[in-house]
Chain A
């Protein structure tokens, strides 16, 4: 099975739109994974039937038993994350800031602090008309997004019987969830756009992806909004030996498709046409067709 992640560095360049289009038109048996667990949107474009829902337990966090607490405050002094706070004249753990390191529990002289499991999201598996989908929801404000991405990928593997392709929609950025997404992939498709921010973010993302030894392909979205910067991106790709899989024109049909909750490739338009060409050249490069 070939594993391909759609990523971007900068947010909002069109990752999910491109991932949905590839998922929509390929004829290769596939499994889908939405690794953008902070803000998962792939499920908004494919009608789905839920197979399973399970709780996602992140790392354990601490809880203070106020019946035992002697109010000494040693835990608050030792905690480096500011997670032990004064509320209603008592020490309490702020779960938004607790990293789950266990230092408070270790240093409490009266054993008043326990480490307890903490549910910070849900993991789903679903069926769509374009293959099985593993996805998740991280509760807003929770940590552990990298760990959740890893769980989503594991579910996708479990659902992948008979699939030749795992197609993952990745998160923006270059931190924890991105690294968890790219690790173990065969290839990444980087969606960028002709803007100085996107170009800057592309080069940082490429640096990170190179450490994982994945094949890197680039697609330039809305390329005709700034021809000169598009040229700069192409020059950058040539210099870095990155394959440009194609360019997508600015096309109001894209927004219309998102508003209607469907992949853009369900109807003919200039963007849909470009995406078909990209899919063909990319899948052939990956040996899928």
Chain B
């Protein structure tokens, strides 16, 4: 069972839901939590533990000047501007490379080989006896977030119950995270911003054919518009978390409400049972 936690809008509480759900479930079963918000991973802050790092690399072209005739085929082929053939050499721009391998295919002289370049890492730890945390971390200044997400998800393969915490937004990194999940939890807050971005996130889940349900966070009780949206789109409301300074204070200091506040462990266990397609 693989469950993605996404939101569209940032800061609605994806990591809160992921971390607390993981903690509550790890009381009775093995859970693997994967931090796919590789631009700004935070889950390790809630589960401090010694970690083992595995570098993430992507293949980038390296030119063999002895074989290169400066024919220009590679530069013509590359749609990302990662190679430029100038007067007496081929310049490469690794940050622009998408690692498609096209340049090595088109080079008529076999002058291009691919060499790995480190763009991030995957950090693995076991903060609790029944919880494994796998965090993808993109190096600052790099843009290939999907490659790091893929690497983190590959390391989590084979685990019976996996939770993926997505980045905000609705573009490539979110697609990479949700793709292949059995279900998706969309976390929102009941403001016009939250609702607007929930509608975008719901569209992504629908396009990927992933069944989804909604968690309303920081509710002040005025959730009518969000609830109506969910009803119209056939999205079950799985859980509502009220706004409270007490919850915010626990969360801001790296605490877990499922562990630190009474009643929340049961509520997060209930959230799991409510996810579409879960048979506990």
Q: Tell me the A residues contacting B by CB distance below 8 Å.
A: 8-13, 16, 38-39, 41, 44, 59-60, 78, 80-81, 96-97, 99-103, 106-107, 138, 140-146, 171-179, 193-197, 200-201, 204-205, 207-208, 211, 225-226, 229, 255, 258-259, 261
Closest chain B CB from A119 CB (angstroms): 15
Judging by beta carbons under 8 Å apart, are B207 and A140 in contact?
yes
Judging by beta carbons under 8 Å apart, are A225 and B245 in contact?
yes
**Pairs A–B under 8 Å by Cβ, sample size 23:** A10-B42, A11-B10, A11-B11, A11-B12, A12-B11, A39-B197, A41-B197, A44-B193, A78-B101, A96-B207, A101-B80, A102-B77, A103-B101, A107-B105, A144-B171, A145-B169, A175-B39, A175-B173, A197-B40, A197-B45, A255-B220, A259-B191, A259-B192
Q: Number of B residues whose C-beta is below 8 Å from A?
A: 56
B172 within 8 A of A: yes
Judging by beta carbons under 8 Å apart, are A145 and B171 in contact?
yes
The 9 closest A-B pairs by CB, nearest first: A12-B11, A11-B10, A101-B100, A38-B169, A195-B252, A173-B39, A172-B10, A197-B42, A11-B168
- Count of A-B contacts judged by CB separation below 8 Å: 178
Judging by beta carbons under 8 Å apart, are A141 and B191 in contact?
no
Instruction: From A11, A193, A261, name the one whose CB has the most chain B CB atoms within 10 angstroms.
Output: A11
List the B residue with the shortest CB-CB distance to A13.
B11
List the A residue with the shortest CB-CB distance to B192.
A44
Closest chain A CB from B268 CB (angstroms): 19
**Complex alpha-carbon distance, A171 and B175, angstroms:** 17
Closest chain A CB from B95 CB (angstroms): 9
Interface stretch among B25-33, B140-148, B156-164? B140-148
Known A-B contacts A99-B98, A172-B40, A174-B140; A258 and B171 likewise in contact (beta carbons under 8 Å): no
Contacts of B231 in A (CB 8 A): none
Cβ contact of A100, chosen from B11, B79, B138, B220, cutoff 8 A: B79
B270 within 8 A of A: no
**Complex alpha-carbon distance, A97 and B203, angstroms:** 16
List the A residue with the shortest CB-CB distance to B254.
A196
List the B residue with the shortest CB-CB distance to A99.
B98
Contacts of A16 in B (CB 8 A): 193
Closest chain A CB from B233 CB (angstroms): 13
B50 within 8 A of A: no
Judging by beta carbons under 8 Å apart, are A194 and B252 in contact?
yes
Closest chain B CB from A61 CB (angstroms): 10
Contacts of A194 in B (CB 8 A): 252
**Complex alpha-carbon distance, A38 and B98, angstroms:** 21
Contacts of B196 in A (CB 8 A): 39, 41, 44
B99 within 8 A of A: yes
Known A-B contacts A39-B9, A175-B138; A225 and B175 likewise in contact (beta carbons under 8 Å): no
Contacts of A140 in B (CB 8 A): 170, 200-201, 203-204, 207
Judging by beta carbons under 8 Å apart, are A173 and B169 in contact?
yes
Judging by beta carbons under 8 Å apart, are A101 and B192 in contact?
no
Instruction: From B11, B170, B171, B207, name the one whose CB has the most chain A CB atoms within 10 angstroms.
Output: B171
B65 within 8 A of A: no
List the B residue with the shortest CB-CB distance to A107.
B105
List the B residue with the shortest CB-CB distance to A59.
B79
Judging by beta carbons under 8 Å apart, are A38 and B200 in contact?
yes
Contacts of A100 in B (CB 8 A): 79
Cβ contact of A211, chosen from B141, B170, B193, B248, cutoff 8 A: B141
